[in-house]
Chains A and B, each alone.
Chain A
Amino acid sequence: MKTASELNFGERAIISDVDNTHPSFRRILEIGFTPGQEIELVNSSAFKDPLAFSLRGTLIAIRKHEADCIILL
C-alpha cells in the first residue's frame, strides 16, 4: 500500500483512499485530497518535510506525517 509520502519528485498518482483514523484526515479531505484525484509531488522543503503536492490546480504543502494518510492506487 503506497502513500503520498512515498512519491518521488515529479511522480503522479491517483488517490484511492484517505485513512480516517488519522487525526488530520478531515482537513486533508476538505482541502481537496479526495479519492479519484490525481496528485503530483512537485517540491519539498530543504529538510524533505513538508511536501508540496499539486492538486486540483493548486499547490498544497503538508507534512510527511499527514501525507502518510493519503493512500494511492
Chain B
Amino acid sequence: MNTASLEKLNLITLVGPPNSGKTTLFNKLSGKNYKTVNYPGSTVEYSTCKIQSKFGIEADVLDSPGIISLNPNSPDEEVSVNSLYNHPEFGSPHLVIATADASQISRHLLLAKQLIESDFNVIVAITMNDILAKRGYEVDENKLAEELGCGVIKVDGRTGTGIDKLISCVKPKLNPDEKDELKNPHKVFENIDKEKLLDLYREIERIEKIVIVPVKNITEPNLKKANEKLKILNPTLKYGSNRPDERTLNIDKLLLSRRWGLIFFFLIMAFTFTSIFWIADPFMKLVDELFGYLSTNASSILGQTWYGDLISDGIISGTGAVLVFLPQILILFLILGLLEDTGYLARGAMLIDKPLSKIGLNGKSFVPMLSGFACAIPAMLAARTISNRRERLLTIFIIPLMSCSARLPVYALLIAFLTPADKLWLGGIALALIYISSILGSLIVAAFINKFNKRIINASDTSSFILELPAYRAPKIKNVIRNSFENAKQYIYRAGPIILVLSMVIWFLTYFPNHSPEINTNGLSHEEIVQMVKAERLSTSYAADLGKFIQPVMSPLGMDWRIGVSLIAAFAAREVFVSSLAMIFKVTDSSDLQSSILLAMKNAVNEDTGKPLFTVSTIIGLIVFFIFAMQCLSTLAVSKKETGGWRIPMLQLVIFTSTAYILTLVTVNVLKFIGFS
C-alpha cells in the first residue's frame, strides 16, 4: 500500500551546498509535517515530507544533506551523491530544486551547473537575496535562466516571498507529458579532472558577470536610503569584492583573536557544559519522581504479583531510565543548535582543530565529545559531521570515556561515602578530579589508538579540515527548537527500545527463579516484608548466580559478589548501580535512600574475608572502574549502528572494561599497600 502510493507521487529533491538556505526552504514547503529517515545501512539522514496541500501539488519533497559538488569527498558524501541518482526508497527525482545563495553565487552555481550537465530536471532557487541587495546588487533571474537553460526563481524561505512563483514553475514540470521526455541523469563528475573543473568555474564566472546587476527599483525606502549612502561614501563600490560582511569580520576580530579566542571558546564551552547540568537538573528530578510515583502506584494497584512487578519495576522504571536523560539532551541540542545557527560552532571547530589533530582527531570532533558529557548516544550521532572516516571512528571510539550524566548518581553516592559530613567541599573537588581524569583518559586513549590505528581502526583517509565559516547572524529560534525536538525524538527511537528491553532482561535476571521466596514475617511491618522479599529474591536470583560466578574476578579487588551483581545490573544503565545496591543491602527506608544506603554500606562485611566491604580503597577503586568501564549496552548498540559493524563496539567493550579492571586492581592494592584499609 505504502510503496504503491509512494511510486505514484512525484519526487522533488532539494539539493544545495551547506548554508545555502536549503533547509529553510524545505521547512516552508513542508509546513510542520515531515519525518527524518536514514539512508538504509548508513548514517546519512534525509528529511522528507509531502508539499503542503495549500500549494496544490501532490509531491514528496526530499531534503538531501548539503553537498559542495557531485564529486564525493567522503563515504557519507558518496551516499548522498549516489542517492541523488537513485534513492533506494524514493527512486530518482522527477525534479531537483537546487538552492544557491545570491551573495555566494559563484561558489554555489557550481553544484547547480553540475546538476544541469548531468541531465537532471533542475529549477534553481536563489536564496539570501536580501544580503546581496544590501550590497546594492541583485540577480537578474531572466538572464540567469537563459544562461543556465533552466527555471530560476528568487525565494526567501523565511518570509515566503517567491514560494508561489516557485510552485507555479514546479507545476508544469511535473506534467505527465513532459515527464516522458525526461533524460536519464548520468554521472559525469566523479573524479572530475582539474581542467574540467576550472572550465566549469570560468563558465560560472562569465555567467556571474552577466546576471549580477545593480539594484534598479528599490521599493523598500530604508534600503534605498542605506544604498544611496553607501554609494556616496564609497563611490567605487563594486561587485566582486572578496571580503565578507564587515560585521562578521569585526566579531571575528574578537572571537577568533589569537589572545582571546581560546578564552572565549572555553567560556562558551563551560557555559554549555554547566547548563546541561544545572538547567536540566530540576526537570530530570521531575521525570524521576513522576516515574517513581507511577511505579509505586502500579505496584500497589497490581499487588505483589510477578506481572505487577514486571510492570512497575521492569516497564515503568525502564521507561523512566530512558526519559530521565531527555531534559539534558534537549538542552544540549538547543544550545548546540543556537551556536551552530549563529555561526560560532564552525569557528569552535577551527579553534580546537590543531590540538585535536595531534591525537588523530579533528576540530569537528569537539561537538560530539562535548555531547558525550550528557549522553554517549546523541554524541555518537553527532560524530556524523566528521567527513574523514578514520577520525569519525576514533571520535566514536573515545566517546564512552566522556563522563556521561548516568555516572553522576553513582559518583554522588561513592563520594558521599568518602567525604566527612563537616568537609562537604571535598566532594566538589573529588567530582572535578573525576571529570578531569575522564577527559585526560580519553585523550590518552585517542593518542594511543592513533599510534596503533591500523590495527584498531580499519580505515585510512587523508585527514583534512576545510570548513566554511558562515557570516554571523541572529539564530532562527523556531528552527533551532524544532531541530532539538527532532534530535530528542531520534534519541528516544534509537536508545529507547534498547534500554527498555535491557531493563526487562535485568529485571528478569534479578527476579527469577525464586520469584516468591518464603521469609519469616514475624513482627515485621508490611514495608519491611516487601523489602525482605525483594532482598531474598535477589540474593537467590540468576543475577546472584552470575555474581557468584564472577566472584573470583571480584576478590582481587577486595569486593564480593554483591558488588559484582550491581556492576552487572549497571549494564542496563549505569545509574542502576545505586538502586541495585539498595536492593542487595536490604535498604528499607525509601524516604532518604542515599543516607540509608550509606549506613548499610558502612555496616556491610565482605562475605569471604569478614572485613568491612566498603573501604576507602574499594570505593576509590569503584570510581576508577566507572570512569573507564564500557558498561552501557545501549551505547554499544548505537556504536555498532554508527560504525557499521561489531568490530568497534566489541573493541570498546574489551579495551575499556579490561583497562578499568586493571586500573581498579592497581588502585585498590596500591591504596591498601600505603595504608588505606
A-side interface residues toward B, CB under 8 Å? 12, 18, 20, 23-32, 34-40, 42-50, 52, 54-63, 66
Are A47 and B355 neighbours in the complex by a CB distance under 8 Å? yes
Contact of B252 among A24, A35, A42, A47 (CB under 8 A): A42
Could you tell me the distance in whole angstroms from the C-beta of A32 to the nearest C-beta in chain B?
A: 5
Residues of B within 8 A of A63 (CB): 353, 357, 464-466
Contact of B194 among A25, A58, A60, A61 (CB under 8 A): A25
Instruction: Say whether B71 faces chain A, with CB atoms less than 8 Å apart.
Output: yes
Residues of B within 8 A of A58 (CB): 104, 107, 244, 468-471
Within 8 A of A (CB), among B336-353: 346-347, 350-353
Given contacts A31-B68, A36-B205, A45-B350, 14 further A-B contacts (CB under 8 A): A18-B194, A28-B466, A30-B68, A35-B198, A45-B256, A47-B354, A50-B353, A54-B243, A57-B103, A60-B467, A61-B468, A63-B465, A63-B466, A66-B466
Number of A-B contacts (CB under 8 A): 130
Known: A18-B194, A44-B258. A61 touches B464 (CB 8 A): no
Could you tell me the distance in whole angstroms from the C-beta of A53 to the nearest C-beta in chain B?
A: 9
| Residue of A18, A42, A56 most packed against chain B (CB within 10 A) | A56
Are A57 and B241 neighbours in the complex by a CB distance under 8 Å? yes
Instruction: Say whether B435 faces chain A, with CB atoms less than 8 Å apart.
Output: no
Are A30 and B104 neighbours in the complex by a CB distance under 8 Å? no
Are A27 and B68 neighbours in the complex by a CB distance under 8 Å? yes
Are B241 and A29 neighbours in the complex by a CB distance under 8 Å? no
Known: A26-B73, A58-B104. A46 touches B261 (CB 8 A): yes
Contact indicator per residue, chain B 461-489, by CB within 8 Å of chain A (1) or not (0): 01011111111000000000000000000
Are B197 and A61 neighbours in the complex by a CB distance under 8 Å? no
Among residues of B, the one whose C-beta sits closest to the C-beta of A47 is: B354
Instruction: Say whether B674 faces chain A, with CB atoms less than 8 Å apart.
Output: no
Residues of B within 8 A of A31 (CB): 68, 107, 466, 468
**Contacts A/B (CB < 8 Å), 22 sampled:** A23-B462, A24-B462, A34-B198, A36-B205, A38-B242, A40-B243, A43-B252, A44-B258, A46-B351, A52-B469, A55-B242, A56-B106, A57-B103, A57-B242, A58-B244, A58-B469, A58-B470, A59-B244, A60-B468, A61-B346, A61-B468, A66-B466
Could you tell me the distance in whole angstroms from the C-beta of B183 to the nearest C-beta in chain A?
A: 25
Contact of A24 among B352, B354, B464, B470 (CB under 8 A): B464
Complex: how many Å from CA A30 to CA B464? 14
Residues of A within 8 A of B470 (CB): 58-59
Complex: how many Å from CA A31 to CA B242? 14
Could you tell me the distance in whole angstroms from the C-beta of B132 to the nearest C-beta in chain A?
A: 9
Among residues of A, the one whose C-beta sits closest to the C-beta of B197 is: A29
Residues of B within 8 A of A50 (CB): 350, 353-354, 363, 465, 467
Known: A26-B192, A52-B469. A59 touches B248 (CB 8 A): yes
Are A57 and B244 neighbours in the complex by a CB distance under 8 Å? yes
Residues of B within 8 A of A42 (CB): 249, 252
Contact of B350 among A23, A32, A52 (CB under 8 A): A52
| Residue of A35, A44, A52 most packed against chain B (CB within 10 A) | A52
Are B351 and A56 neighbours in the complex by a CB distance under 8 Å? no
Known: A24-B464, A29-B194, A66-B464. A45 touches B346 (CB 8 A): no
Are A30 and B468 neighbours in the complex by a CB distance under 8 Å? no
Complex: how many Å from CA A57 to CA B242? 4
Could you tell me the distance in whole angstroms from the C-beta of A47 to the nearest C-beta in chain B?
A: 4
Contact indicator per residue, chain B 278-315, by CB within 8 Å of chain A (1) or not (0): 00000000000000000000000000000000000000
Instruction: Say whether B69 faces chain A, with CB atoms less than 8 Å apart.
Output: yes
Complex: how many Å from CA A18 to CA B106? 18
Complex: how many Å from CA A59 to CA B104? 11
Could you tell me the distance in whole angstroms from the C-beta of A33 to the nearest C-beta in chain B?
A: 9
Known: A27-B464, A34-B201. A49 touches B261 (CB 8 A): no
Within 8 A of A (CB), among B435-457: none
Residues of B within 8 A of A47 (CB): 353-355
Are A59 and B71 neighbours in the complex by a CB distance under 8 Å? no
